[in-house]
Amino acid sequence: MANELPDMTLKPIGVVRSKIAQPPQPDEGKVISEIVVDSSLTEALDGVEGFSHIVVLYWMHQAPAGKVPTKVHPMGKQEFPLVGLFVTRSPQRPNPIGVSTVRLLQRRGNILVVQGLDAFDGTPVIDIKPYIPEYDSVAEAKVPQWLTKACGISQKLQDIYHRLMDCYGPQHWWPAEEPFEMIVGAILTQSAAWVNVEKAITNLKAAKALSPEALRRLPLPEVAALIHPCGYYNAKALKLKSLAHWLGERYGDNLDKLLANNIDDLRQQLFSIHGIGQETADSIILYGANKPVFVIDAYTRRIIDRIGLAPETNSYTAYQTLFMHGLPTDSELFKEYHALLVCLAKNVCRSRPLCQQCCLNNICPSHR
């Protein structure tokens, strides 16, 4: 077969100049990039100004090297069915050619300013074509059910995020001066209002007890007294002392070393500490280690259920999978999104929701 086909040589016609220098960002659809076309081809762009959109073909030069799989999980997500490579947009393919339909904002000589190009800075461009709705848009295109569902959920999750961000603005979580304080806060906030956690942390700081070494040294009743404001103080004091002992024995109090573990290892190790469950472990992984896992809490479940996105099972993992698969893998996005959901639940989507005041009320089926 190979002998019957001609040799092929591709030559870049230009290069992408973009602020995207790494994997997709939350607002990548809004990213404005430039395509700098080789100056010898400037004339070939004449007339492009008459089109609102163009189709850009580019060489995904940062695609993973190595053997190309013939079957993949779409978007690298295990929950999607294993399908043939050519029914996915996986970047790992025999010829790593990417294609994007983008909005053309401006032409300046040999430079096209475009919006929505999901190619990294420095990506070689191999062709540009006009987008012609009569040819390029198919009214009755069919896609598999798994894709319809995934796209619908993803769009809705992103819509919710943008509405919440517009309404409440960045929350800048987690409010802690350093990682150990963050971890202590994650334990103390279990079944407690944050305002009371702040009082407990202030007490620990005033007593110079906010360190693993100090927590090991202090008797349990003294730790309990210091954290009294946040409730369940005896149980939480025991958890803090367990954490402090574990951290000393396993890591010599070197928190950086603990947090450098990969997500799965870190989660398993945190589970082995008395009093650390899924939500607390994931809070530490996201806000302490700055690694992308989505934190699920009771507020998140409540909002997701009311907004009509409840997963088929009621497990922590099912809710987490919903977000992890529906959003770009981005720890900053996950941090803000979780904080915004908490903000909505506390202010508006309470046990008795205040739907009239809610920024999601025109997309929420539970609106009343």
CB of 363 to ligand SF4, least distance (A): 8
Site string for ligand SF4, 166-205 (x = CB under 6 A): ----------------------------------------
Is 349 near ligand SF4 (CB under 6 A)? yes
Residue span binding ligand SF4 (CB under 6 A) among the ranges 87-95, 233-241, 264-272, 354-362: 354-362
Is 340 near ligand SF4 (CB under 6 A)? no
Is 358 near ligand SF4 (CB under 6 A)? yes
Would you state the structure tokens that stand for residue 23, as one six-digit string?
A: 């994997």
CB of 250 to ligand SF4, least distance (A): 42
Residue 33 dihedral angles phi and psi, to the nearest 5°: -125, 170
Residue 174: asked if its preceding bond is cis (omega within 30°), the reply is yes
Exactly one of 218, 307, 339, 343 binds ligand SF4 (CB under 6 A); which one? 307
Would you state the structure tokens that stand for residue 284, as one six-digit string?
A: 């530490």
Is 361 near ligand SF4 (CB under 6 A)? yes
The SS3 assignment for 127 reads: strand
Is 111 near ligand SF4 (CB under 6 A)? no
Site string for ligand SF4, 287-306 (x = CB under 6 A): ----------------x--x
Q: Torsion-angle region of residue 208: left (phi > 0), alpha (psi -120 to 50) or beta?
A: left
Is 364 near ligand SF4 (CB under 6 A)? yes
Q: Is 325 exposed, middle or buried (0-12, 13-18, 19+ CB in 10 A)?
A: buried
Residue among 48, 16, 59, 58 at smallest CA distance from 132: 48
Task: Using alpha carbons only, give the angle 185, 343, 304 rounded to the nearest 5 degrees.
Answer: 105
Is 156 near ligand SF4 (CB under 6 A)? no
Query: What residues pair up with 114 in beta bridges, in sequence order?
Result: 33, 104
Residue span binding ligand SF4 (CB under 6 A) among the ranges 36-44, 121-129, 198-206, 357-365: 357-365
Count CB atoms within 10 A of the CB of residue 114: 26
What does the binding site for ligand SF4 look like in residue numbers (CB under 6 A)?
A: 303, 306-307, 348-349, 353, 355, 358, 360-361, 364, 366-367
